[in-house]
């Protein structure tokens, strides 16, 4: 009996360690001390309900602990773009290129670390050697690796449970995104459009690693959307899915964004709208079947991937309760969609652009003639990195404000002749960005229902990190110049800033340990955890 | 593009023996055409199609911060620069790496030019009526308000040097698109400071005045920051020094080379 009690106690103790059930992630908005999924919740609000740190006291924010990103067996380079997850006092981060590390969220001391056995010549065509974080489900941690493998690790020890190949890295597939964990499934997308891959979204059994379904973002002949392609261009059509999507457990729909068609800048070789590139797709997570789609940039020739975070929220639109989806696109337009049907409800320019006069009633851009890349170069706003990019927006559900880190930069776009060669860049041109004093950045607050700008806070250069709003009335952000800062969400006024000593590339997040709120950001290769005490 | 091709032909004619070398010492015949093709495929996305920078640094400069010679350029291409966006291109084989490195180093290369005047006389003007050491350092002598000129002949050609003397506001150098010697005027409660921007972020700006003193300002504590992009603290010598003296000064600066 005594032994049985001891065993029960042990089992209970073990089960306390990062037991992140699906139901717990569904209710993550009420679990304010933890950060259980990439964007905080399935709605992807990147909003912390914590308010110990607020507009009255943020001035006293200080570093509680810091962690130096370690050189890995897979090479010491790579930018730090991880969003840490925190569950019950343990923080899980990724370190470039594909290392997973668990830290004591109270002190920053390492619990375990795991690095994949990865070939040195791993391909990463069109992007740096980065990883943006892990997924948690039950007692496991999930990570995608640069050489396009999906791996399940024991959350308590880092021991490998399963390790499967998602796609062939030799042709250009890679994984840099944080996977999305839903009930019994791990959803993953791929990078590789700059190598001319044919993109897809996959679902894997979280227990076994068995692939359950695959949705190709570039349709084969006869499939819906194939009428927007000609000839064999679809086979190398791009449409990568390199950013974590959102999920509505009530509608049981996944929302995943799709990147540029390939080749990037020479659209002559792929006439048509090139579905489902530069789109958002709503998928049935049980079957992978397409429910609806909306294309932001038909026949894109500027590399304006739609790989931005879709934010889900409910509100009254035209006197009706609607389930909505908001997305600030790389193409410089802000979109409001009905997430049950994909219906376009509203859109407006939120950052300087010179390629469209606006959006028509269906949300299709009214393209200005001669705004495509040319052999001699054509100046267009925004630059190929877009008006925003992979880094996260934030949505405050109380004030209904949408915050977005915005890049104010133009580029001279060039077109070039191109032929597909397996495992090689498939670009068809390039750009010469107007950088430095000709560019800038801004954190912008938009009214989520109208897209109207409420305020902006100017940055010295176009940012590469996202924002997080909190119930404390704050918006946290960062800059390339190493500033980590908090703005008043009502006014945009800066209330606190810290020089982190290196470019900030990871999205901010927040958690609490011992009842004390912490805010996390990264300067260069140092991850800082801030608090009041 | 056409200029680029002409330049490559010039380079091939001018440097017929400029073979690259692999880390193991084996020579690699130059192949700038293939180097340019590989550069456009792998590098232009960040460094710009002409190499003039963007998300990556400007490579169209005679002297680079990193990779200033072929060997170090190959190392950077192969290994990347930790903590930056520059990855290691392990997928390029050593010969391809050598080609790309050689091409990248041509992007800022200066053509050989004939001196327009007398460099020795120019050196005297530099020291005397030019008053240049008041703001420039050569071989450790002078003040560092403006750019150091010790090896300016490696870095700048005739036209740029002449312009920088005659119309300095039109000859502003840049690093990653930022004007290196931008004149700023800062008004604060304690007065007005005019000088050159040393550094800047969203919250602060650092300014060096003509006496060399560094001023650090929090942006939320100043009344106004005026950036004067069309201005240079460098006097316009085109109106105060005769043209022949300008030719001699330019010749002197062109002669300031690391390898004489």
What chain B holds in terms of domains, given with CATH numbers, is: 2-106 (1.10.760.10), 119-171+237-254 (1.10.760.10), 175-228 (2.30.30.100)
Q: What is the pLDDT of residue B58?
A: 80
Q: Could you give the CA distance from residue B108 to residue B147 in angstroms, rounded to a whole number?
A: 18
Residues A300-335: tens digit of each pLDDT: 999 999 999 999 999 999 999 999 999 999 999 999
The bridge status of strand A47-48 relative to strand A468-470 is parallel
Residue A94: asked if its preceding bond is cis (omega within 30°), the reply is no
State the catalytic residue, choosing from A264, A273, A300, A303.
Answer: A303
User: Hey, is B197 helix, strand or coil?
Assistant: strand
pLDDT in tens, B196-223: 999 999 999 999 998 889 999 999 999 9
Mean pLDDT computed over A200-207: 98
Chain B residue with Cα closest to A523: B83
A238 — pLDDT class (breaks 50, 70, 90): very high
The model's confidence at residue A197, banded by pLDDT at 50, 70 and 90, is: very high
Do the interacting molecules here have an ipTM over 0.85?
A: yes
> A75 and B44: CB-CB below 8 Å?
no
Task: Give me the CATH number covering residue A411.
Answer: 2.140.10.10
Query: Does residue A239 fall inside a structural domain?
Result: yes
Q: What's the mean pLDDT in A36-43?
A: 98
- What is the reported pLDDT for A18? 53
With respect to residue A350, please indicate whether it lies within any of the assigned structural domains. Answer: no
Q: How far apart (Å, rounded) are the C-alpha atoms in residues A330 and A477?
A: 18
Q: What is the pLDDT of residue B107?
A: 86
Taking the C-alpha atoms of residue A18 and residue A27, their distance in angstroms, rounded to an integer, is 15
Half-sphere exposure of B122 (CA within 13 A, CB side): 21
Task: Report whether pLDDT(B92) > 90.
Answer: no
* Torsion angle, alpha carbons of A223, A229, A233, A235, to 10: -20
Cα dist. A25→A136, A138, A243, A402 in Å? 9, 10, 19, 22
User: Does residue A326 form part of some domain?
Assistant: no
Say yes or no to pLDDT of A292 above 50: yes
Q: What is the mean pLDDT of chain A?
A: 95
The structure tokens listed for A398 are 């109380």
Q: What is the largest CA-CA distance in chain A?
A: 83
Catalytic, A56? Answer: no
Q: What is the mean pLDDT of chain B?
A: 84
The pair of three-digit structure tokens given for residue B154, joined into one six-digit string? 């490696």
Helix ranges (DSSP H) in chain B: 2-14, 32-42, 44-47, 70-79, 94-106, 119-127, 152-155, 158-166, 243-254
The pLDDT tens digits of the residues spanning A76-89 come to 667 999 999 999 99
Mutation target for A interface from B54, B59, B61, B66: give the one with most A CBs within 10 A: B54
Q: How far is A97 from chain B (nearest CA, A)?
A: 10
- Distance in angstroms (rounded) separating the CA atoms of residues A522 and A78: 14
Q: How far apart are CA A324 and CA A435, in angstroms?
A: 36
Position B18 confidence tier, pLDDT thresholds 50, 70, 90: low
Q: Is residue A318 part of a domain?
A: no
The 8-class DSSP code of residue A285 comes to T
Higher-confidence residue: B242 or A192?
A192
Within 8 A of B178 by CB-CB distance, chain A residues are 436-437
- Among all residues of chain A, which has the CA nearest to that of B84? A79
Task: Yes or no: say if A529 and A66 are a contact pair by the CB < 8 Å rule.
Answer: yes
Find out whether A162 and A116 touch, Cβ atoms under 8 Å. Answer: no
Give CA–CA dist A54/A56, Å, rounded: 5
Chain A: give the shortest CA distance to residue B226, in Å: 14
**Residues of chain A found within 8 Å of residue B229, distances taken between Cβ atoms:** 437
CB < 8 Å to B205, chain A: none
Partner B contacted by A502 (CB < 8 A): yes
Query: B252 with B127: CB under 8 angstroms?
Result: no
Going by pLDDT thresholds of 50, 70 and 90, the confidence category of residue A4 is: low
Q: Is residue A56 part of a domain?
A: yes
Distance from CA of A124 to the nearest CA of B (A): 9
Q: Who has greater pLDDT, B90 or A526?
A: A526
Location of structure tokens 């604060």: B188
pLDDT value at position B2?
41
Which H or E run contains A24? helix A22-26
pLDDT in tens, B150-178: 988 888 888 889 999 999 988 888 877 88
Number of domains in chain A: 1
Interface touch A77/B80, C-beta < 8 Å = yes
Which residues form the domain of A426? 2-311+377-531
C-beta of residue A317 within 8 angstroms of C-beta of residue A324: yes
End-to-end CA distance of chain A: 45
Q: How many CB pairs under 8 A join A and B?
A: 119
Q: Give the pLDDT confidence of A221-237 residue by residue, as tens digits.
A: 999 999 999 999 999 99
Distance, CA of A497 to CA of A500 (rounded, Å) = 9
Phi-psi map region of B99: left, alpha, beta (phi>0 left; psi -120 to 50 alpha):
alpha
Cβ <8 Å between B203 and A497: yes
| H or E element in which residue B218 lies | strand B214-218
């Amino acid at each position: 009996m005594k032994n049985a009690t001891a065993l029960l106690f042990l089992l209970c103790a073990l089960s306390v360690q990062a037991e992140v059930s699906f139901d717990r992630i569904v209710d993550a908005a009420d679990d304010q001390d933890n950060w259980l999924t990439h964007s905080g919740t399935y709605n992807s609000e990147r909003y912390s309900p914590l308010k110990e740190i607020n507009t009255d006291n943020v001035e006293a924010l200080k570093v509680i602990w810091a962690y130096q990103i370690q050189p890995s067996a897979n090479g010491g380079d790579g930018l730090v773009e991880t969003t840490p997850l925190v569950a019950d006092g343990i923080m899980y981060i990724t370190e470039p290129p594909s290392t997973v590390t668990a830290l004591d969220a109270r002190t920053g001391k390492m619990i375990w670390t795991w690095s994949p056995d990865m070939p040195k010549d791993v391909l990463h065509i069109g992007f740096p050697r980065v990883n943006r974080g892990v997924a948690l489900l039950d007692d496991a941690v999930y990570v995608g690796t640069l050489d396009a493998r999906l791996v399940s690790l024991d959350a308590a020890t880092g021991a490998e449970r399963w390790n499967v190949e998602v796609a062939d890295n030799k042709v250009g597939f890679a994984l840099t995104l944080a996977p999305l964990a839903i009930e019994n499934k791990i959803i993953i997308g791929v990078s590789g459009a700059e190598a001319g891959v044919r993109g897809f979204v996959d679902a894997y059994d979280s227990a076994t690693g068995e692939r359950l379904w695959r949705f190709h973002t570039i349709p084969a002949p006869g499939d819906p959307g194939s009428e927007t392609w000609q000839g064999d261009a679809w086979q190398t059509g791009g449409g990568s899915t390199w950013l974590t999507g959102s999920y509505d457990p009530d509608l049981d729909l996944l929302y995943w964004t799709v990147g540029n068609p390939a080749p990037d800048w020479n659209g002559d070789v792929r006439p048509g709208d090139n579905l489902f590139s530069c789109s958002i797709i709503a998928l049935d997570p049980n079957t992978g079947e397409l429910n609806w789609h909306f294309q932001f940039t038909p026949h894109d020739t500027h590399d304006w991937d739609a790989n931005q975070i879709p934010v889900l929220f409910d509100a009254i639109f035209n006197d009706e309760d609607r389930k909505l989806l908001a997305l600030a696109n790389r193409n410089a337009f802000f979109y409001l969609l009905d997430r049950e049907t994909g219906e376009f409800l509203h859109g407006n320019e939120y950052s300087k652009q010179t390629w469209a006069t606006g959006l028509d009633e269906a949300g299709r851009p009214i393209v200005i003639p001669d705004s495509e890349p040319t052999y001699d170069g054509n100046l267009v706003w925004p630059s190929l990195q877009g008006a925003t990019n992979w880094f996260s927006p934030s949505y405050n559900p109380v004030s209904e404000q949408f915050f977005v880190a915005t890049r104010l930069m133009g580029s001279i776009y060039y077109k070039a002749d191109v032929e597909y060669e397996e495992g090689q860049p498939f670009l068809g041109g390039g750009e010469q960005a107007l950088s430095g004093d000709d560019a800038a950045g801004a954190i912008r607050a938009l009214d989520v229902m109208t897209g109207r700008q409420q305020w902006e806070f100017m940055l010295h250069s176009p940012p590469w990190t996202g924002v997080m709003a909190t119930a404390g009335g704050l918006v946290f952000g960062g800059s390339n110049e190493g500033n980590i800062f908090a703005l008043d969400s009502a006014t945009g006024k800066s209330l606190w800033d810290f020089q982190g000593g290196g470019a900030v590339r990871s999205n901010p997040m927040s958690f609490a340990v011992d009842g004390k709120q912490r805010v996390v950001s990264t300067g260069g290769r140092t991850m800082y955890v801030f608090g009041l005490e | 593009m056409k200029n680029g091709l002409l330049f490559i032909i010039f380079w091939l004619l001018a440097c017929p023996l400029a073979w690259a070398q692999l880390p193991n010492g084996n020579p690699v015949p130059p192949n700038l055409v293939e180097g340019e093709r590989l550069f456009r495929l792998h590098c232009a996305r960040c460094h710009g199609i002409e190499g003039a920078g963007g998300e990556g640094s400007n490579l169209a400069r005679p002297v680079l911060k990193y990779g200033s010679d072929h060997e170090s350029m190959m190392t950077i291409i192969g290994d990347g620069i930790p903590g930056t966006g520059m990855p290691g291109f392990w997928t390029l084989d050593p010969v391809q790496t050598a080609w790309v490195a050689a091409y990248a180093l041509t992007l800022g290369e200066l053509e050989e030019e004939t001196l327009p005047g007398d460099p020795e006389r120019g050196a005297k003007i530099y020291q005397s009526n030019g008053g240049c050491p008041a703001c420039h350092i050569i071989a450790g002598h002078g003040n560092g308000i403006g750019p150091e000129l010790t090896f300016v002949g490696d870095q700048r050609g005739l036209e740029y040097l002449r312009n920088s003397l005659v119309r300095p506001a039109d000859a502003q150098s840049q690093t990653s698109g930022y004007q290196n010697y931008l004149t700023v005027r800062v008004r604060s409660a304690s007065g007005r400071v005019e000088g050159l921007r040393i550094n800047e972020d969203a919250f602060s700006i650092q300014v060096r005045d003509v006496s060399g003193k560094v001023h650090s300002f929090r942006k939320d504590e100043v009344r106004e920051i005026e950036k004067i992009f069309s201005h240079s603290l460098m006097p316009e010598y085109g109106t105060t020094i005769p043209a022949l003296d300008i030719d001699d000064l330019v010749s002197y600066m062109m002669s300031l080379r690391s390898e004489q």
